[in-house]
Amino acid sequence: EKGYKVLCYATESTSGYKEIPYAGSLREAVEHADVVAAGIPLVKGDRIFSKGDFPDLKLEKFLNLLQEGQSLFAGVIPPNVQAHCEKQGIRWYDFMSCEPLAVFNAIATAEGAVLEAVRNQPTNLHGSKTLILGYGRCAKVLGAKLKALDAQVTICCRNHEAQGWAEASGHKVISFDQLEQEISDFEYIYNTVPAIVLQGNVLKKIRKDAIVLELASQGGGIDQEAAQLEEIRVVHCPGLPGKYAPKVSGERLAEFVIETLERLSKNRILERV
């Protein structure tokens, strides 16, 4: 729509945009691009994040295909990828480093998380005892939306400043030291922490009728093997903005890419003057 030539690969669909060509492989897609725009997060395990089953989306292969002078846009770009790009002369831009974009992503994620909870649990959010692990951008927005739906929201976080803001927002607050003792009270548990926090005895105390919604974009906070052994219902929720708000999410990401490229072009012109 903005006049740029676009080549797609490993996307679910380009329906409605039949004029957009679709690459036959990762190599074809990357080699023909000045700009590579990937998802949020960029990496899942050792692969480039995509909902489809594309065998050539190995991170190592992707990095080897990137070329000097290209620009990479993605979300939650790992330090090893950043280091590789800087060494090879590849410009990289993290969607999540743009605060307005990160906040918008948190809003879209929180709305999607509420919908996932309603779809996967046969009870009301109204009056439910709800736990949110962590209190970053997404957790703050999610807590406010759940509170507006009259859920009884408890925040579990380590940071004293975050605990203070959670209390100021009208939430009950507990620390991770209290988690094992308190977690059996909750029917809905949302994790936003990208490190293992639900494990061992904590998992054993989770109610059998509870649901755990994994929102962390990198790594996740649940010991998956132990959760399966305990028969805990875990709903993984990757890419919620793209799943439930694809149009506006795509527009926001495109705006960031275009504004960055225009700024880069202006800087190059000034350098020549």
Compute the distance between CA of residue 175 and CA of residue 101 in angstroms, rounded to an integer.
Answer: 29
* Region of 187 on the Ramachandran plot (φ > 0 left; ψ -120 to 50 alpha; else beta): alpha
**For residue 220, pLDDT beyond 90:** no
Instruction: Give the confidence band of 176 by pLDDT, cuts at 50, 70, 90.
Output: very high
Q: What share of the chain has pLDDT > 90, as a percent?
A: 80
- What is the tens place of the pLDDT at every residue in 112-143? 999 999 999 999 999 999 999 999 999 999 99
pTM value > 0.95: no
pLDDT higher than 60, residue 234: yes
**pLDDT for the residue 217:** 72
Residue 273: predicted pLDDT: 45
Going by C-alpha positions, the residue among 61, 18, 67 that lies closest to residue 43 is 61
Q: Is the pLDDT of residue 262 over 70?
A: yes
Question: Which tens digits make up the pLDDT trace of 7-43?
Answer: 999 987 666 666 788 899 999 999 989 999 999 889 9
Is 80:204 a contact under the CB 8 Å cutoff? no
Is the pLDDT at 49 greater than 80? The verdict is yes
Q: Given pLDDT bands bounded at 50, 70 and 90, which one contains residue 91? A: very high
Q: How confident is the model at residue 238 (pLDDT cuts 50, 70, 90)?
A: confident
Q: What is the pLDDT of residue 178?
A: 97
- 165, pLDDT greater than 60: yes
In this prediction, residues 195-223 reach a mean pLDDT of: 91
- Mean of pLDDT values over 224-229: 92
Q: Tell me, what amino acid is at 188?
A: Y
Q: Tell me the one-letter amino acid at 258.
A: I
- Mean pLDDT, the chain, as a whole number? 92
Residue with tokens 């012109």: 269
Cα end-to-end distance, the chain, whole Å: 31
The whole-number pLDDT of residue 256 equals 96
Residue-level pLDDT at 44? 86
Phi/psi for 129 (5° steps) reads -85, 115
Who contacts 180 (Cβ-Cβ below 8 Å, separation ≥6)? 201, 202, 205
Residue 189 has pLDDT above 60, yes or no: yes
